[in-house]
Amino acid sequence: MASEESPLLATDRDAVYRRFSPFRKRAIVAMVSGCGVLPMFVTGTFTPSIPQIAKDLDSSGAVVNLAVSLSAFGTCVGGLIGGSYSTFYGRRAVYIWALPSLVLGSLGVATAPNIPSLLFWRFFQSVGAAPALVIGAGVIGDIYKLEERGRAMGLFFAACLLGPAIAPIAGGKLGRVGAIRILISAKGSAAYYFSWRAMQAALGVIGLLMWLMMYWLFPETSQPGARGIDQLDTDDPKRQKLVFINPLRPMWLLLSPNLFLISLILSASLITVFVLLVPLAYTIGARYHIPNEAIVGACFLPAGLGNITGAQIAGYISDRTVIQWRKRRGGVWYPEDRLRASLIPFAVVVPTPLLLFGLFNQYVDGTPGLVLCLVCLFVNGIGVEMAWGPCAAYIVDVLHSRSAEALAANGGLRSVLMAVGIAAVLPMINTYGIFVTNAVCAILVWIAFGVLVCIIRYGDQLRAYKDVGFSTAENN
């Protein structure tokens, strides 16, 4: 277990991180980031289409909304399976086998003739997309050493968080406009119905292109001897057949207080994204009398731009924090030092825009109010990325050999918490108003800040309470 007694000294292990050139590393980060944006995009493009889908399949929005819940469950299952098998077979194998599931699922959703078929293929689609979220961070841990990991991790999660910001644009009005231009029909409804199917088919095509890219260009990044299959004898029969790995195995990692609490505080930061973005059609569209869905969709962009900006800042600060605090400790590595880079975001940059957004939205009319709300979305996007990046990098740091599994367990718990949180957003806004809803969310973020302080201060004790195989300075 890593502790303050573990000096972090340059060793021959650094050669492991020199296997790929700087250019190749950047290319690998670009590839896993491209795959990483797909899970959020799969979710975000579906939700705006629910009314169209319900009408097309002669059902109700409530029934079609089951596909959203099923998608969240599929994401959890896919992440756990991908994380478990990537530890045994390696990163490349999981990408190669998971992406075809996304392709087939997307095409199945696009051609679904009824609700049962839609639900089945939607689950299949989500399972195929999910592993990219957890494996991508594991890949970065494979190829970047401790002092460089934060920047790459920030870029990866910035790409992932672009999904909630840009997906509604593709899934909403702009998708319909594109379909209308393609279809010349006497009945406008034909083009209207076609759009959601076209969007899902497009996801299948994108997934296929990603699979071709990963198949031909993506190398196995797992460190030599780190895979489970590498530890088997060459004549072991397990090498010749598929080994069953319990997909729930990663959830046992949450018995560690460190990993469990990090999952909670990451959920608190991410819920702010959905509190601001999910009701945007009401808080900005209706409030500022914007009838054009395309323009409302464009209002999601400031959050995505904030994520990109925050990634650049968070990555630099995260790595500098590790280096500076290690120097203060005389070369001793204390894993929780990286989390110090998330303190200001959790204390100020994430919750403050939430409160201001509620005030501006409720009391400032016209163009000034709209502009101020968009600025809040941008600043919150910066804050969420600055809070998220160091915490995710910390998970990779402390459980380096099982980083994908640790992130899968984190994602599994987070999916449950996010599903509950998102379901409560609109009812709270309808009952108490946007300011009260945002204020409650800001309080949750401040509670997360307090938990983060405790993790930093008592990191050694928390890791000692339940050691799940934490990394040391020598094997990180």
Buried residues in 22-52 as b, exposed as e (16+ CB within 10 A):
eeebeebbebbbbbbbbbbbbbbbbbbbbeb
pLDDT in the model for residue 13: 63
- Three-state DSSP at 330 gives coil
Q: For residue 12, name the pLDDT band (cuts at 50, 70, 90).
A: low
* Amino acid identity at 422: I
DSSP 7: B
Q: Hey, where are the domains in the chain? A: 12-220+250-475
pLDDT greater than 50 at residue 324: yes
Q: For residue 41, name the pLDDT band (cuts at 50, 70, 90).
A: confident
Q: Where are the alpha helices (DSSP H) in 224-365?
A: 257-277, 280, 293-298, 301-328, 343-344, 351-363
pLDDT greater than 60 at residue 7: no
pLDDT greater than 90 at residue 50: no
- The pTM assigned to this predicted structure is 0.81
393 or 184: which leads in pLDDT: 393
Q: Which of 136-145, 208-217, 361-370, 412-421 is the least confident region?
A: 412-421
Angle at 86 between CA 82 and CA 90, to 5 degrees: 145
- Residue bearing tokens 């997909």: 247
pLDDT in the model for residue 445: 96
Average per-residue pLDDT in the chain?
83
- The CA distance from 70 to 412, in Å, is 13
Q: For residue 174, name the pLDDT band (cuts at 50, 70, 90).
A: very low
Q: Mind listing the pLDDT tens digit for each residue in 417-431?
A: 877 777 777 788 878
The mean pLDDT value for 365-380 works out to 93
55 and 34 Cβ atoms separated by less than 8 Å: no
The mean pLDDT value for 241-266 works out to 88
pLDDT greater than 90 at residue 335: yes
Choosing among 3.40.50.720, 3.40.50.1000, 1.10.150.310, 1.20.1250.20, the CATH entry for 12-220+250-475 is: 1.20.1250.20
DSSP 334: -
The share of the chain scoring above pLDDT 70, in percent, equals 86
Buried residues in 253-262 as b, exposed as e (16+ CB within 10 A):
bbebbbbbbb
367 or 12: which leads in pLDDT: 367
344 and 385 Cβ atoms separated by less than 8 Å: no
pLDDT in the model for residue 3: 47
Q: For residue 159, name the pLDDT band (cuts at 50, 70, 90).
A: confident
- The CA distance from 236 to 230, in Å, is 11
Give 289-327 as a 3 state SS string: CCCCHHHHHHCCHHHHHHHHHHHHHHHHHHHHHHHHHHH
> How would you class 266 by CB atoms within 10 Å of its CB: exposed for 0-12, middle for 13-18, buried for 19 or more?
buried
pLDDT in the model for residue 412: 84
pLDDT greater than 80 at residue 351: yes
The mean pLDDT value for 329-339 works out to 92
Work out the number of other CB atoms within 10 angstroms of the CB of residue 191. 19
Q: For residue 107, name the pLDDT band (cuts at 50, 70, 90).
A: very high
Instruction: Report which of 204, 126, 166, 155 is spatially closest to residue 28, judged by C-alpha positions.
Output: 155
pLDDT greater than 80 at residue 33: yes
Q: For residue 169, name the pLDDT band (cuts at 50, 70, 90).
A: low
pLDDT greater than 50 at residue 183: no
pLDDT greater than 80 at residue 253: yes
DSSP 453: H
66 or 367: which leads in pLDDT: 367
Buried residues in 386-410 as b, exposed as e (16+ CB within 10 A):
bbbbbbbbbbbbbbbbbbbbbbbbb
Q: For residue 180, name the pLDDT band (cuts at 50, 70, 90).
A: very low
